Amino acid sequence: MAQSSIVASKNVRFAITEVEITKCNHLGRLDFKADKYPHLVEAADFLKQSCIAYAITVDPKPSKTLLQQFWFTADATELTNKKGERVPAISFSTDLGPGSMTALSLRKSLRFPDKPKSGFDALPTDAELISFLDAMGYCWENKPRSSIPNKKLTKILKAQMPSQLNFIFSHIIQCMSVKSGSLDQASKIQLQMAYSVIAGQNFDYATAIFEDLRSRLEKPERDPKISYVSDRWRSSHSPTR
């Protein structure tokens, strides 16, 4: 397929060459000199044994051209699966031809846990997330003109986490997030992921990431910055150049 046949999605207001691949730590940094960062060894060992280990360390060596084409053409759509069911999908076109993705294809490509026969666990409640942060030593900001902690989930900052929790959150935000903005603040989805990884819950990581990315494609006007995680799981679905 020639690049001239690559057609922009309806909410794209920028040229394909303006798609920005934001530089960040796309890969988990779990191997480092223990004597240099002894306080992070336990957290790194934990992540190596966790269910997200492959997802945060796989390196598909993405092609900048294909990533730009993916973000330029991607549309939120639906596909019919093998059971004849209509499922949410993302369709796109690149020089390699047309392609599509679903939460299931993401789960397989990044080796997230399969859906248990009993189904995935329920999402943690706000109260459970607050208790989790308390137990992990999160330093809450006080309410205005008060000494009472403001325990709300609307502004959870990495800087106020103890080092090991900060390390785990950094990998979730930078390696499993569709954010294209600040890396300093954790979203509710990322809180749910961290809670589930640490607590050993059967969380549907693939669907959470997929739906978040798909919602960004449906915005009235698309951000030209490609989301942090897109290069990892987009590239894992097809050959690169």
pLDDT in tens, 129-149: 999 999 999 999 888 888 888
According to DSSP, the β-strands at 185-186 and 156-157 are antiparallel
In-domain check, residue 79: yes
Kindly indicate the confidence band of residue 234, based on its pLDDT and cuts at 50, 70 and 90: low
Residue 64 structural domain: 3-235
In-domain check, residue 241: no
In-domain check, residue 80: yes
Q: 143, 150 in Cβ contact below 8 A?
A: yes
pLDDT in tens, 146-174: 888 889 998 899 899 999 999 998 888 88
Inform me whether the pLDDT recorded for 76 exceeds 90: yes
In-domain check, residue 49: yes
In-domain check, residue 53: yes
For the chain, the domain total comes to 1
In-domain check, residue 240: no
Please report how many Cα atoms fall inside a 13 Å half-sphere around the Cα of residue 1, on the Cβ side. Answer: 15
